[in-house]
Amino acid sequence: MKGYLTIFLALSLSLLTGFVLLLTGNAIRNGVKVRYECAVDTGMNAVLSEFHIGLLERYDLIYVDASYLEKHPNIDNVEERLWYFIEQNTKEVLGKKNAPWGNLTLEEITIPSFETAAADLGASMRNQAICYVEDTGIYGKEREIVRQMDEIQVLRAASPLAQWSSIMEQLAGMELPLIQNVKGEWEEVPLSNPADWVYGLIGSDVLFLAQVDLQSISPAKISLGEYISHRPIENTGSKDRNYREDTDVFLSYLFDKMGYLGNYRDDSFLSCQLEYVAKGMDSDLENVRAVAETLFELRFADNVACALADGDLRAQAAAAAELLQVVQLKAEFKNPVAESILYACAFLETVGDMRTIYAGGTVPVRKSDHTMSVNRVLDGSLYSSQSAYGWNYGQYLASMILLIGDEDMNLRAMDLIEMDIRLHDNNRNFKMDWCIERYEAEVTAQGNYLSHYFLRRKYGYF
């Protein structure tokens, strides 16, 4: 009887020992799995902790720079950093005192997909910018222009200069009357149109006419092909994302972070950054001039509309035309001469508007009154207009930015970000289409007894 009992206890003990060892093995294996998942999660967060500090400080955007300051930008760099962080919490831990049971060795790390600032051609960057503006509560005057953009579009579509040129060409093609001089010879009567001197100003440097101070702008000339709007763009894809667009909010971000004529930002490659956004040319001077030319076109279109609709001004122009000898001799000259004088009045008023705006004043998009006078054309004088309300230079500049469309706005803004970040040491390889906001990783590891572990994780800032 005792022999049977001894054999039963021995068998029971063997079974219990095997069961305990099985439970212990499973516990170790599950512990390894938990440590593995924690290590992967910690590693992926650690990669995101290495965001580009300069980009955050200057533009309040948070991205991981895949060039890591001095390397060529490549996803391999990010995989290396992820491998390092995970390994510090796996293999390196096992060699320490009181290390946990169970081996864990990394086998492979790949990042099959990631999203950059260039996702959807800059929608990711814009999304972060909009979130920043809403978090900080920024609201500038540039936001007020949106409700009048339809009027800007109307002015932009007008072609008053072409109409004026047509009138002047009509006058040039008309046959002048003849009179007999004191010698008895027949000669043409000169037209002596008072609008001629104003028409002669067409083609003059608009910056000179507007008396724009250019002393403080940067003399730098940029190589456009080095920046994202002109080079082939990489990594523009995104998955399951709904990016904020909110153009008016994004305008506030641009005006908060970037400088323009008379309101420069320190530590920027270009002085007139927003003029670059509006025009995209390769120097401050060219961008400022292009903005001034567009501003002149907008103001001239509005002033022509005011002049042609003003009955009193039209009567003054007709009276001035009637004083010309050529009109007295040939009545068909009267109407085109009077029309040309009205356009000349609008041109001088536009020069006055430009001087007011560039001096820090305001001018309405559509005027209800004006300071035009035919006497200014007859006297040959330039002047500055007066207005107590309307848009300032920054608001007109904002309207030009809206005219270019969202895609160009995003890409040119990222051009400027690349310019500024590359100003600093070890950032020569910085590219916005290699600035990572979100990434997906696949991690494979090996544990005890040929066990394998596989995880797929997606982490990001937004």
263: helix, strand or coil: strand
Is residue 455 within 8 A of residue 82, CB to CB? The reply is no
Verify that 272 and 250 share a domain, yes or no: yes
Is residue 12 domain-resident?
yes
User: Residue 136 has what pLDDT?
Assistant: 95
Query: Residue 448 CB: number of other CB atoms within 10 A?
Result: 13
Give tens-digit pLDDT for 64-120: 999 998 889 999 999 999 999 998 888 766 656 655 656 778 899 999 999 999 999
pLDDT at 125 over 60: yes
Would residue 129 count as lying in a domain?
no
Residues 326, 439, single domain; the answer is no
Residue 23 shares a structural domain with residue 154? no
Residue 127 inside a domain? The answer is no
Tell how far CA 10 is from the center of its chain.
81
Q: Quick one: 411 and 453 in the same domain? A: no
Q: How many domains does the structure of the chain reveal?
A: 2
Question: Looking at residue 452, what is its pLDDT?
Answer: 85
Q: Tell me, yes or no, whether 197 and 310 share the same domain.
A: yes
Residues 187 and 280 occupy one common structural domain:
yes
**Quick one: pLDDT at residue 266?**
87
pTM, full prediction: 0.89
- Pair 35, 165 in one domain: no
Question: pLDDT tens, 259-284?
Answer: 999 999 988 999 999 999 999 999 99
Query: What mean pLDDT, rounded, does the chain reach?
Result: 91
The pLDDT of residue 16? 73
Same domain, 30 and 147: no
**Confidence at residue 36, expressed as pLDDT on a 0 to 100 scale:** 86
Is residue 161 in a domain?
A: yes
Do 24 and 96 lie in one domain? The reply is: yes
Which residues make Cβ contacts (< 8 Å) with residue 298, sequence separation at least 6?
A: 152, 155, 156, 365, 396
Separation CA 348–CA 164 (nearest Å):
14
pLDDT band, very low/low/confident/very high, at 181 (cuts 50, 70, 90): confident
Identify whether residues 167 and 251 lie together within a single domain. yes
Asked, for residue 132, whether it belongs to a domain, the answer is no
* One domain for residues 396 and 297: yes
**212 & 353 share domain:** yes
pLDDT of residue 34: 82
Contact 329, 177 (CB under 8 A): yes
Average pLDDT over residues 21-41: 72
Parent domain of 115: 2-121+433-460
In this structure, is residue 128 part of a structural domain?
Answer: no
Beta-sheet pairing, 178-180 with 186-188: antiparallel
131 occurs within a structural domain: no
Q: Give the HSE-up count for residue 165: Cα atoms under 13 Å, Cβ half-sphere.
A: 7
Q: What percent of the chain has pLDDT over 70?
A: 92
33 falls in which pLDDT band (50, 70, 90)? Answer: confident
Give the pLDDT of residue 121.
Answer: 95
Q: 348 and 313 in contact (C-beta within 8 Å)?
A: no
Is there a domain that residue 209 lies in? yes
Structure tokens at 339: 């029309």
For residue 315, what pLDDT is reported? 96
For residue 285, give both structure tokens: 């001077």
